[in-house]
């Protein structure tokens, strides 16, 4: 996926906009602003290991201020970066129970922003990859006043743009404007301070060798899922046994799945019928990206992007990845005779 073009994220966004004469430039403005917020969060994430030296989160720093937990830092940074551009009518974050209104007197725009500021944040202390996930929709509520809950509860296929920033061995910004628009990845050059195109037009392999899920929950899984995993373990892909990989950060696990193929699963189980992951903050944006790259995402019965969210923090089971792998697990789920 090497590229010979020296393409920064801003240049890519601006050139993409020129291909669409009808574009108002608003989405470009939003993405540029998100790129800036991503750089600031990345800087802070990279300092996380210094917490022992610089003060634990929750402690007071030298200025007598409380050191913020990184997920709250990311949450506030995104709001600060995004609330004054005049693009949005409402926002919502996994870190806040209710919808987030724009500050008073701020110009109200026609877009809606949903985000998980720092997904997988329980991994921070062990230096394991974490990420930011975002979704952009057009408002559906009438008028040009503040947006409403209705604007935030849209089906995933209505996303205009979705993306994530993975803070891993390097920081990568991946986004798509949906099917037919391509999925692009930009790696942050820390010396240069800019995101450079590193993954041009990402396509997920049709089938892969890696399955990714928390096997600690095995005894609670649906019967069809147990059968599927046992099937993979007893079989070969292209002459080699299947591989299990599970980071425990959805952004990292789905990013690997996007590049190498295979499947990532967070199922509903006996204890939590709807699983753990959030439909609007995590599953919809990741499904939008994976589908745009040629993959598939379902809750086991229904396409993730068709699900109508009933509540802001609703959870859903998810089976996401290479088309053939997801189709196969769907077959096992539908053919199982018992529920568990």
* Residues making contact with Mg ion (CB under 5 A): 116, 119
* Burial (CB count <10 Å: 0-12, 13-18, 19+), residue 233: exposed
User: CA 188 to CA 24: how far, in whole Å?
Assistant: 27
As given in the structure block, the two tokens for residue 38 are 């991503």
Report in angstroms how near the CB of residue 119 gets to Mg ion at its nearest: 4
Positive or negative: CA dihedral 234, 240, 242, 243:
positive
Report in angstroms how near the CB of residue 208 gets to ligand AHM at its nearest: 18
Among 93, 121, 135, 148, indicate the residue that binds ligand AHM (CB under 6 A).
121
Q: Which residue is nearest to Mg ion (CB)?
A: 119
Other Cβ atoms less than 10 A from the Cβ of 313: the count is: 13
Mark 122-161 with x for binding to ligand AHM (rule: CB under 6 A) and - for no binding.
x---------------------------------------
Question: Is 283 an interacting residue with respect to ligand AHM (CB under 6 A)?
Answer: no
Pairing relation of β-strands 263-266 and 318-321? antiparallel
| Rg (the chain; Cα; Å) | 20
Report in angstroms how near the CB of residue 298 gets to ligand AHM at its nearest: 17
Among 276, 314, 324, 328, indicate the residue that binds ligand AHM (CB under 6 A).
276
Pairing relation of β-strands 130-138 and 210-212? unpaired
Question: Is 8 an interacting residue with respect to ligand AHM (CB under 6 A)?
Answer: no
Residue 233, contacted partner among Mg ion, ligand AHM, none, CB below 5-8 A by kind:
none
As given in the structure block, the two tokens for residue 11 are 């240049």
User: CA 152 to CA 174: how far, in whole Å?
Assistant: 22
Residue 214, contacted partner among Mg ion, ligand AHM, none, CB below 5-8 A by kind:
ligand AHM
Report in angstroms how near the CB of residue 23 gets to ligand AHM at its nearest: 33
Strand partners, 292: none
Q: Where are the beta strands (DSSP E) in the chain?
A: 88-93, 111-119, 130-138, 161-167, 171-176, 183-189, 194-199, 210-212, 236-237, 240-241, 243-244, 263-266, 296-298, 318-321
Report in angstroms how near the CB of residue 77 gets to Mg ion at its nearest: 16
Q: Which residue matches tokens 């998980």?
A: 116
Mark 79-118 with x for binding to ligand AHM (rule: CB under 6 A) and - for no binding.
----------------------------------------
Among 8, 106, 214, 272, indicate the residue that binds ligand AHM (CB under 6 A).
214
Given the complex with ligand AHM, which of 237 and 246 has the nearer CB atom? 246
Given the complex with ligand AHM, which of 121 and 284 has the nearer CB atom? 121
- The residues binding ligand AHM (CB under 6 A) are 119-122, 214, 248-250, 266, 276
């Amino acid at each position: 996926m090497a590229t010979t073009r020296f393409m920064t994220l801003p240049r890519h966004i601006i050139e993409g906009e020129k291909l669409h004469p009808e574009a108002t430039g608003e989405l470009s403005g939003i993405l540029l602003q998100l790129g800036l917020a991503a750089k600031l969060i990345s800087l802070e994430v990279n300092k996380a290991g210094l917490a022992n030296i610089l003060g634990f989160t929750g402690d007071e720093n030298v200025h007598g201020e409380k050191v913020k937990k990184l997920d709250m830092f990311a949450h506030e940074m995104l709001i600060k970066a995004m609330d004054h551009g005049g693009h949005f009518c409402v926002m919502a974050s996994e870190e806040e129970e209710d919808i987030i209104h724009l500050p008073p007197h701020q110009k109200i725009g026609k877009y809606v922003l949903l985000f998980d500021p720092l997904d997988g944040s329980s991994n921070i202390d062990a230096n394991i990859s974490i990420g930011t996930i975002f979704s952009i929709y057009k408002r559906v509520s009438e008028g040009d006043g503040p947006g409403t809950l209705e604007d935030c509860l849209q089906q995933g296929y209505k996303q205009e743009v979705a993306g994530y920033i993975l803070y891993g061995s390097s920081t990568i910004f991946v986004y798509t404007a949906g099917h037919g628009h391509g999925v692009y990845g930009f790696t942050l050059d820390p010396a240069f301070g800019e995101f450079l195109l590193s993954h041009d037009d990402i396509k997920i392999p049709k089938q892969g060798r890696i399955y990714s899920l928390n096997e600690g929950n095995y005894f609670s899984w649906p019967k069809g899922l147990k059968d599927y995993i046992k099937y993979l373990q007893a079989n070969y892909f292209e002459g080699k046994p299947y591989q299990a990989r599970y980071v425990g950060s959805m952004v990292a696990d789905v990013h690997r799945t996007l590049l190498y193929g295979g499947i990532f699963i967070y199922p509903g189980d006996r204890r939590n019928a709807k699983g753990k992951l959030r439909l609007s903050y995590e599953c919809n944006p990741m499904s939008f990206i994976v589908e745009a790259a040629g993959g598939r995402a379902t809750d086991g019965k229904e396409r993730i992007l068709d699900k109508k969210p009933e509540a802001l923090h609703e959870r859903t089971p998810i089976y996401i990845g290479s088309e053939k792998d997801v189709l196969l697990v769907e077959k096992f789920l539908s053919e199982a005779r018992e529920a568990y």
